[in-house]
Amino acid sequence: MALIIILISLAIERFLGSMEELRRSGWFIAYSRWASARLAQYESLNGPVGLLLILLPLIVPVMLLVHYLSGIWLLVGVPFSILVLLYCFGPRDLEAEVEAFVDARRRGDEESACWHANVLLGEEDEVDNSAELTKNIMENIFVEANERLLAVIFWFVMLGPAGALLYRLSSLIAPAEGEEPEGVVEAGMRLHQLLVWVPARFCAIAYALAGSFVEALHNWRQVECHWYLSSRQVLIAAGFGALRMDISEIEEDSTACDQIIEAMAMVRRAVLVSLSIIAMLTLAGWMG
């Protein structure tokens, strides 16, 4: 059933276009910061315990709803799970953002290309249209494909709608601008690092299977950093390796668009590889 829900959700996401307006996360950011400020007054609650107090009131109701709806699963449970999964994707459509940037760059519209690059990279300062920009966008594609889609699917398969929601909410916990992470916020960021660790490795394997397996694994092994900080580096290394591409090969001319398109195409193949693996595991479970 999980595979069917995932396929329906991906189809809705694809054919209905961006659902960013339905994925407003401001309410949770405001709630988590308000609760963090209150819990910071108590030393015993200003950490993992406080994080649980923030997340459990949101996660437990989803778990209970899924459990009690299991008796009428097809009538109510499936639509509910689809809604939760759709909310946890994104929040923005990575492919649409990449296509908008590439189109602007090919038209020679530098102002529009820089604006779309800022959206992709989450930066407010003006970004130069250069080889460095192309490299940053390709790195962002490899990382965000996991963050926006594949990691959510992974935790949905593992823990159901509550798992997908837990992953998405953990990604939203961050300090206010200019503040250092501490207490509950720091615990939330560490939770997200833990939750992304395994999906990032599965995503890297999917990149390898969708491209050059040997070079992706070779690049992966070259990544040397602390295990809890390495997910981003692993995804980037495996992504460039799967494309048999060295960062130094990126040029400042029009071929850079081709490299970005190639990166996005490889990500699409990796998604299909991941769905194929889930389908095989589902069939094995049925046969078992």
Share of the chain above pLDDT 90, in %: 51
232 pLDDT exceeds 80?
A: yes
Report pLDDT for 117: 87
Quick check: pTM over 0.75?
Answer: yes
**Angstrom distance (rounded) from CA 261 to CA 16:** 22
Based on the number of CB atoms within 10 Å of its own CB, is 197 exposed (0-12), middle (13-18) or buried (19 or more)?
A: middle
Contact between 84 and 9 under an 8 Å Cβ cutoff? The reply is: no
256 pLDDT exceeds 90?
A: no
Cα within 13 Å of Cα(142), Cβ side: 33
Who has greater pLDDT, 14 or 241? Answer: 241
Show me where the domains of the chain are located: 2-287
255 pLDDT exceeds 60?
A: no
**Angstrom distance (rounded) from CA 220 to CA 127:** 29
Cα distances from 95 to residues 13, 148, 214, 275, in angstroms, run: 11, 11, 26, 18
**pLDDT tens digits, residue range 38-97?**
988 888 888 999 999 999 999 999 999 888 877 666 678 888 999 999 999 988 889 989
**pLDDT tens digits, residue range 101-157?**
999 888 888 788 888 888 888 875 555 657 788 888 999 999 999 999 999 999 999
CA triple 65-151-229, angle to 5 deg: 125
Alpha carbon dihedral 254, 256, 257, 260, in 10-degree steps, equals 170
